[in-house]
């Protein structure tokens, strides 16, 4: 991260640049900005407490502890909260918070998640300040920082006596990093809330850049390719009644996937695991398997597993059809089957999403923080907001805490972004209501 040295002249320039921007805020917005500044120290303390509670997805007690830690803060500003048990889909559960005022603004769905990728066995367990600007800790950006930003924006709306008139549902899932099964149950809370809502706002960290937000996210689904060949002595490989065997057939299929699909913009298809030989075993639960074969035997079996990421339902369907056609056009005496798991759906870009981004960007400009543009969907992974696709009129994500190193022990947050992102979110929700 670049380091900057400010002198008096530069500071005066920044102040003169921001004054006209803040002049674009009405008195209510100015009051919310002042509240967020005044309460930032308390918000940072809440974030530190949250980061120091381990909530790896499979640490069910820890995920519930984070929910218990957050619930009183929502209740203090008028939300009704509840815990939705996740035993039906093999996870801890979700936090739901609702406030249903009688105002005439749009119904909002705010999305966060409680879990992180860092289980109790990880060496990465606690918050640590690096310097005045940066701090590190498990889940600090993904996404405990985003949860606090959401709460700060709601607190600001409560401070100006607007929150009680708004219609807002908060869903903080406990399995975003490792989804429960089946997804129809795991994501039911989000789907139900999106069916009710008009607008969905996600507080994930996106690509970690505060000048961008997500109006589209690629879906993430898995595929499994199973291939069979005719076993024989290797000296007979390619004979008309033997064929090339399972491994050559697998190579043909993968090469044609590459040749026929790599030109698709925003589409990726990655083979992550391959087994082949005379005998293979595979355990999808632990992403592992075994293979036995000899150099002088034509391979009888092969298996490949991978993921497929597309930016729209149409692109996903087109890619799957091409992959099926390639897998079906086999070498002699071989056969192949490919299966797809639906996984996370894509959140396709839409006019409504673009309009919501423009409102958010205008709020950022008026706050003096500059324009916000759409992030390239290749630079951000799948997220829970995708389950709102087709159910809400507008959706945006990536409004969380800026930083870098997500999903690694180098996860680092830009702490100065905590109040600025909170202000953006508060002004956005206020303007949507207004």
Q: Residue 3: is its pLDDT beyond 90?
A: no
Mean pLDDT of all residues in 277-297 = 95
Burial of 109 per CB tally in 10 Å (0-12, 13-18, 19+): buried
pLDDT in tens, 67-77: 999 999 999 99
Which tokens go with 72? 């009183």
The pLDDT of residue 380:
75
Average pLDDT in the chain: 93
Residues 133 and 41 in one domain: yes
- Distance of alpha carbon 134 from alpha carbon 214, whole angstroms: 23
Which of 324, 344, 364 represents a domain boundary (last residue)? 344
Helices and strands of the chain, counted as H and E runs: 11, 18
For residue 384, tell me if it sits in a domain.
yes
Supply the range of the domain harboring residue 327: 219-344
Which tokens go with 86? 């996740």
Give the count of domains, the chain: 2
pLDDT band at 23 (very low <50, low <70, confident <90, very high): low
Mean pLDDT of all residues in 83-106 = 96
Q: What is the pTM of this model?
A: 0.86
Q: Residue 30: is its pLDDT beyond 50?
A: yes
Mean pLDDT of all residues in 178-200 = 96
Residues 329 and 352 in one domain: no
Residues 326 and 356 in one domain: no
The pLDDT of residue 22:
60
For residue 338, tell me if it sits in a domain.
yes
pLDDT in tens, 390-408: 999 999 999 999 999 998 9
- Distance of alpha carbon 200 from alpha carbon 12, whole angstroms: 38
For residue 1, tell me if it sits in a domain.
no
For residue 2, tell me if it sits in a domain.
no
Q: Residue 19: is its pLDDT beyond 70?
A: no
The pLDDT of residue 10:
31
For residue 230, tell me if it sits in a domain.
yes
pLDDT band at 198 (very low <50, low <70, confident <90, very high): very high
Residues 147 and 229 in one domain: no
- Distance of alpha carbon 396 from alpha carbon 203, whole angstroms: 9
The pLDDT of residue 1:
34
Residues 354 and 416 in one domain: yes
Residues 231 and 185 in one domain: no
The pLDDT of residue 379:
82
Which of 298, 321, 344 represents a domain boundary (last residue)? 344
Higher pLDDT, 43 or 22: 43
Inter-CA distances, 293 with 147, 234, 296, 302, Å: 51, 11, 9, 11
Which of 327, 344, 361 represents a domain boundary (last residue)? 344
For residue 169, tell me if it sits in a domain.
yes
pLDDT in tens, 226-263: 999 999 999 999 999 999 999 999 999 999 999 999 99
Residues 87 and 144 in one domain: yes
Residues 228 and 351 in one domain: no
| CATH number of residue 240's parent domain | 3.30.70.360
The pLDDT of residue 375:
92
Residues 296 and 314 in one domain: yes
Phi, psi of 21 (to 5 degrees): -65, -50
For residue 3, tell me if it sits in a domain.
no
The pLDDT of residue 13:
34
Q: Residue 12: is its pLDDT beyond 80?
A: no
Burial of 170 per CB tally in 10 Å (0-12, 13-18, 19+): buried
| CATH number of residue 389's parent domain | 3.40.630.10
pLDDT band at 386 (very low <50, low <70, confident <90, very high): very high
Residues 91 and 203 in one domain: yes
Mean pLDDT of all residues in 83-98 = 98
For residue 241, tell me if it sits in a domain.
yes
Residues 68 and 48 in one domain: yes
Mean pLDDT of all residues in 128-145 = 96
pLDDT band at 16 (very low <50, low <70, confident <90, very high): very low
The pLDDT of residue 17:
37
pLDDT band at 327 (very low <50, low <70, confident <90, very high): very high
Mean pLDDT of all residues in 105-129 = 97
Residues 200 and 251 in one domain: no
pLDDT in tens, 375-384: 998 887 789 9
């Amino acid at each position: 991260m670049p380091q900057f040295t400010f002198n008096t002249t530069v500071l005066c320039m920044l102040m003169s640049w921001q004054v006209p921007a803040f002049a674009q805020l009405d008195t209510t917005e100015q009051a919310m900005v002042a509240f967020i500044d005044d309460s930032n120290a308390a918000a940072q303390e809440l974030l530190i407490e949250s980061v120091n509670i381990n909530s790896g997805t499979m640490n069910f007690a820890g995920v519930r502890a984070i929910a218990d830690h957050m619930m009183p803060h929502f209740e203090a500003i008028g939300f009704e909260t509840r815990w939705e048990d996740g035993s039906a889909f093999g996870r801890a559960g979700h936090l739901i918070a609702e406030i249903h005022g009688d105002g005439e603004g749009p119904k909002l769905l705010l999305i966060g998640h409680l879990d992180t990728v860092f289980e109790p066995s990880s060496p990465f367990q606690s918050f640590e300040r690096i310097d005045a600007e940066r701090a590190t800790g498990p889940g600090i950006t993904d996404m405990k920082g985003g949860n606090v930003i959401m709460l700060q924006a709601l607190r600001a709306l409560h401070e100006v006596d607007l929150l009680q008139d708004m219609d807002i549902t908060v869903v903080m899932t406990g399995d975003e990093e490792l989804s429960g099964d089946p997804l129809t149950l795991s994501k039911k809370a989000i789907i139900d809330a999106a069916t009710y809502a008009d607008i969905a706002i996600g507080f994930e960290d996106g690509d970690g850049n505060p000048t961008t937000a997500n109006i589209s996210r690629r879906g993430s689904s898995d595929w499994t390719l199973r291939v069979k060949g005719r076993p024989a002595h290797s000296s007979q490989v390619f004979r008309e009644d033997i064929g090339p065997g399972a491994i050559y057939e697998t190579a043909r299929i993968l090469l044609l996937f590459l040749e026929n699909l790599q030109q698709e913009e925003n589409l990726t298809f990655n083979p992550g695991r391959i087994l082949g030989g005379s005998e293979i075993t595979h355990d999808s639960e632990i992403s592992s398997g075994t293979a036995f074969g000899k150099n002088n035997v034509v391979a009888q079996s092969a298996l490949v597993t991978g993921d497929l990421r597309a930016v729209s339902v149409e692109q996903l369907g087109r890619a799957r059809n091409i992959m099926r056609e390639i897998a079906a056009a086999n070498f002699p005496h071989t056969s192949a089957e490919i299966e797809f798991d639906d996984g996370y759906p894509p959140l396709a870009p839409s006019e409504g999403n673009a309009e919501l981004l423009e409102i958010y960007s205008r709020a950022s400009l008026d706050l003096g923080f500059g324009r916000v543009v759409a992030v390239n969907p290749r630079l951000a992974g799948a997220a829970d907001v995708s389950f709102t696709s087709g159910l809400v009129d507008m959706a945006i994500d990536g409004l969380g805490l800026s930083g870098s190193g997500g999903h690694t022990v180098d996860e680092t947050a830009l702490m100065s972004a905590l109040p600025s992102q909170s202000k953006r979110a508060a002004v956005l929700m206020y303007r949507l209501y207004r």
